[in-house]
Amino acid sequence: MLTKKTTKNQLTLPKDIVKEFPGIEYFDAVVEKRRIVLTPVLMMPADGSLNEIREKTAAFGISEKDVRKAVSWTRKKREQE
């Protein structure tokens, strides 16, 4: 389906595509091999419990050590800027 970029760099998704994603408001956009790939994102409510967060990270195989390493890596990147 054809879509057009507006002067404000916005795209309108065709109704036939949007109806395939009921309840989805946000999409993650990345470029892969010169293509724009949109992935639906379900936003977690701010009042989500800590246990829910821990369950999700465990389901993704993310450990406390992984989080510490990621924070350390990010802080090093900031210090280098």
**Domain assignment of residue 18, yes or no:** no
- Tens of pLDDT, residue by residue over 11-60, are 999 999 999 999 899 999 999 999 999 999 987 666 667 888 888 889 99
Q: How far is residue 68 from each of residues 44, 61, 62, 65, 73, measured CA to CA in Å?
A: 22, 14, 11, 5, 9
**Domain assignment of residue 11, yes or no:** no
Contacts of 30 (CB under 8 A, 6+ apart): 36, 37, 39
Q: Whose CA is closest to 25, among 11, 43, 50?
A: 43
**Domain assignment of residue 3, yes or no:** no
State how many domains the chain has.
Answer: 1
**Domain extent at residue 57:** 50-80
pTM beyond 0.85, yes or no: no
